[in-house]
């Protein structure tokens, strides 16, 4: 609440992946603002595709709704607004969004001199608006809205590309909070309190759950409020202690076939993927590429960066980022190309992709196995650590020549191969990679401080593929 009263910036943008609790936060903020005598909640608009109400996705309805709600609370604003609307025949909603801001908000607010409190407008789920061009016009209009009154806008949305490219993404003039960058421990604790309060507030408070159950469910949520709320709704639907206990046990056991409990998540993921695969915007080959990248993100054993994964799958980093731009609601894509952390937001998305056969099991392992071998063939070389002698210790710091893709390839290649149904199919590629580069590979492992893992990796390789005799070959 201090931002509303003290911060000179007029826009606060709350961005977060699907299911991270943006709408819950927006609703809570509205309740707090309504009860605060030092703040005037001017109006709210909650966009929603799932409501089935077309007006809740139409950008042209947002400003008229906000203006109408403020007019209900302020006679002064209502009088000026009425005068402004007379020439428009009372149909401002049909006007272009860029032409709405003046008569509906900017001009009437100039005359609202009697209101000393900050006037706050809340718009939730901007990404659910149906027209991206009109949404861009709305955001531009909000950013450029200037008036004498102290007006604040609180906006929430998923981190969609077209919103990140709008003026509200300017950190110099606007306050921005990305929920997926908040410490995971804090988020888990918030979800734990949310679950605990939901269970306690229900009439059936007999011992059908324990604190350990609450903590376990909070941990399973992995930062997704929507996961927790879905499970809570599923459990509390039962009207007896025994049935609730059974349902909670099902959820905590993470039964993947429990479509009753996890159906809403599937529906959310289906919507996101359907939107990403819109044939009007995406070529079939591009969709195929996106699914290949997703398979690799699911199979990755340690967090990768955009650049590293692009190297492993033989894509340009910009092309890989482009393939994921419509999926940033469910995939975390680091802003910097060399920043690690590229990941699926929640394990349930991976389960959904595999269960619906959009991605074949092990396809990511096969792609990454071949990518690791190729990267090692292309990048391993003599004295990659730049040591000055053969008997001095390797440099303390990892040389810049050992990029993340090479580091990943050297440490993970055999694990992806071992996961395959027929790992021996890669015998030839393994031989081509290691026959003349074995010591180069060992040097990288040593520089990374993990030489102790080399023996275990070779033993796994010997038991997995047909190279047992070759490891002792003097050619290595």
In the block, tokens 């303390």 appear at 396
Identify whether residues 275 and 308 lie together within a single domain. Answer: yes
Is the CB of residue 335 less than 8 Å from the CB of residue 324? no
Is 366 within the bounds of a domain?
no
Is 13 within the bounds of a domain?
yes
Q: Cα-flanking dihedrals φ and ψ of residue 377, to 5°?
A: -60, -40
For 322-378, give the DSSP string: HHHGGGTTTEE--SSTT---BEES-HHHHHHHHHTTSS-TTHHHHHHHHHHHHHHHH
How is residue 396 written in tokens? Answer: 């303390």
Helices 438-447 & 404-418, crossing angle to 10 degrees? 110
Identify whether residues 166 and 54 lie together within a single domain. Answer: yes
The reported pLDDT for the residue numbered 226 is 81
Task: Tell how strand 343-344 and strand 331-332 pair up.
Answer: antiparallel
- Give the integer Cα–Cα distance in Å for 421 and 362: 8
**Domain end among 181, 211, 231:** 181
How is residue 332 written in tokens? Answer: 């975390």
Is 394 within the bounds of a domain?
yes
How is residue 430 written in tokens? Answer: 């393994």
**Number of domains into which the chain is organized:** 4
CA distances to 25, 266, 354, 428, 447 from 348, rounded to whole Å, are 22, 8, 10, 36, 36
The reported pLDDT for the residue numbered 90 is 47
Is 64 within the bounds of a domain?
yes
Identify whether residues 194 and 117 lie together within a single domain. Answer: no
**Domain end among 121, 151, 181:** 181
Is the CB of residue 359 less than 8 Å from the CB of residue 292? no
Is 361 within the bounds of a domain?
no
Identify whether residues 190 and 157 lie together within a single domain. Answer: no
Is 407 within the bounds of a domain?
yes
Domain of 316: which CATH number?
Answer: 1.10.10.10
Domain of 167: which CATH number?
Answer: 3.40.50.300
In the block, tokens 């706050």 appear at 120
Identify whether residues 169 and 115 lie together within a single domain. Answer: yes
Is the CB of residue 23 less than 8 Å from the CB of residue 167? no
Is 177 within the bounds of a domain?
yes
For 83-105, give the DSSP string: HHHGGGTT-GGGS-HHHHHIIII
The reported pLDDT for the residue numbered 423 is 85
- Give the integer Cα–Cα distance in Å for 348 and 320: 23
Identify whether residues 385 and 443 lie together within a single domain. Answer: yes
Structural domain containing residue 204? 184-255
- Map residue 13 onto helix, strand or coil: strand
The reported pLDDT for the residue numbered 261 is 55
Identify whether residues 58 and 159 lie together within a single domain. Answer: yes
Is 345 within the bounds of a domain?
yes
Alpha helix positions (H), 50-127: 62-73, 75-85, 97-101, 107-110
For 216-270, give the DSSP string: HHHHHHTT-HHHHHHHHHHHHT--SHHHHHHHHHHHHTT-TT-HHHHHHHHHHHH
Per-residue pLDDT tens, the chain, 476 aa: give them.
566 666 667 889 998 877 788 888 999 999 999 999 999 999 999 988 766 666 788 899 999 999 999 999 988 888 888 887 765 544 555 678 888 888 888 888 887 777 788 899 999 998 888 888 888 888 888 888 877 678 889 999 888 767 877 778 777 777 888 887 788 889 999 999 999 988 887 766 567 888 999 998 888 887 888 888 878 888 888 888 888 888 888 777 754 445 555 556 676 677 777 777 765 666 778 888 889 999 999 999 988 999 999 999 999 999 999 888 878 778 888 888 888 889 887 777 887 888 877 888 889 999 999 999 999 999 999 988 877 766 666 655 677 778 999 999 999 999 999 999 888 888 889 989 988 899 999 999 988 888 888 998 998 888 887 654 444 454 44
The reported pLDDT for the residue numbered 475 is 44
Alpha helix positions (H), 154-240: 161-164, 184-200, 211-221, 225-236
Identify whether residues 328 and 426 lie together within a single domain. Answer: no
- Give the integer Cα–Cα distance in Å for 456 and 418: 13
Identify whether residues 201 and 249 lie together within a single domain. Answer: yes
Identify whether residues 291 and 236 lie together within a single domain. Answer: no
The reported pLDDT for the residue numbered 476 is 43
Identify whether residues 439 and 310 lie together within a single domain. Answer: no
**Domain end among 181, 210, 237:** 181
Identify whether residues 386 and 458 lie together within a single domain. Answer: yes
- Map residue 191 onto helix, strand or coil: helix
């Amino acid at each position: 609440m201090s931002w509303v009263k003290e911060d000179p910036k007029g826009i606060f943008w709350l961005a977060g992946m699907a299911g991270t609790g943006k709408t819950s936060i927006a609703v809570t903020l509205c309740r707090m603002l309504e009860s605060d005598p030092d703040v005037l909640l001017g109006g709210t608009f909650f966009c929603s595709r799932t409501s089935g109400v077309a007006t809740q996705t139409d950008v042209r309805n947002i400003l008229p709704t906000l203006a109408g709600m403020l007019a209900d609370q302020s006679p002064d604003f209502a009088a000026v607004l009425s005068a402004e609307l007379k020439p428009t025949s009372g149909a401002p909603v049909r006007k272009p969004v860029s032409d709405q801001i003046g008569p509906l908000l900017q001009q009437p607010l100039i005359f609202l001199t009697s209101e000393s409190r900050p006037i706050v407008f809340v718009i939730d789920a901007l990404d659910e608006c149906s027209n991206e061009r009109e949404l861009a016009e709305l955001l531009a209009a909000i950013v450029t809205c200037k008036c004498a009154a102290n007006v604040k806008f609180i906006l929430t949305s998923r981190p969609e590309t077209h919103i990140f490219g709008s003026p509200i993404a300017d950190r110099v003039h606007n306050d921005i909070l990305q929920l997926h960058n908040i410490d995971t421990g804090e988020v888990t604790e918030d979800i734990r309190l949310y679950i605990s309060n939901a269970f306690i507030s229900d009439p059936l408070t007999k011992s059908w759950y324990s604190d350990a159950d609450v903590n376990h469910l909070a941990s399973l949520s992995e930062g997704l409020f929507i996961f927790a709320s879905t499970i809570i709704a599923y459990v509390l639907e039962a009207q007896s202690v025994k049935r609730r206990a059974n349902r909670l046990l099902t959820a905590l056991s993470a039964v993947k076939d429990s479509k009753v409990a996890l159906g809403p998540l599937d529906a959310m993921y289906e919507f996101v993927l359907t939107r990403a695969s819109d044939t009007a915007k995406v070529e079939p080959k591009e969709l195929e590429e996106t699914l290949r990248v997703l398979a690799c993100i699911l199979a990755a054993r340690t967090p990768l960066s955009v650049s590293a994964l692009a190297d492993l799958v033989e894509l340009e980093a910009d092309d890989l980022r482009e393939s994921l731009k419509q999926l940033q609601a469910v995939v975390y894509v680091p802003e910097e190309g060399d920043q690690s952390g590229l990941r699926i937001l929640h394990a349930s998305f991976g389960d959904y992709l595999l269960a619906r056969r959009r991605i074949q099991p092990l396809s990511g392992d096969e792609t990454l196995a071949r990518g690791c071998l190729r990267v090692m063939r292309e990048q391993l070389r003599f004295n990659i650590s730049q040591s000055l002698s053969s008997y001095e210790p390797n440099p303390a710091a990892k040389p810049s020549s050992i990029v993340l893709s090479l580091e990943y390839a050297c440490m993970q290649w055999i694990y992806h191969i071992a996961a395959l149904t027929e790992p021996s199919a890669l015998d030839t590629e393994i031989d081509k990679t290691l026959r003349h580069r074995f010591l180069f590979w060992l040097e990288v492992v040593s520089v990374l401080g993990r030489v102790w893992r080399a023996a275990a990796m070779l033993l796994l390789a010997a038991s997995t593929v047909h190279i047992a005799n070759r490891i002792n070959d003097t050619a290595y």
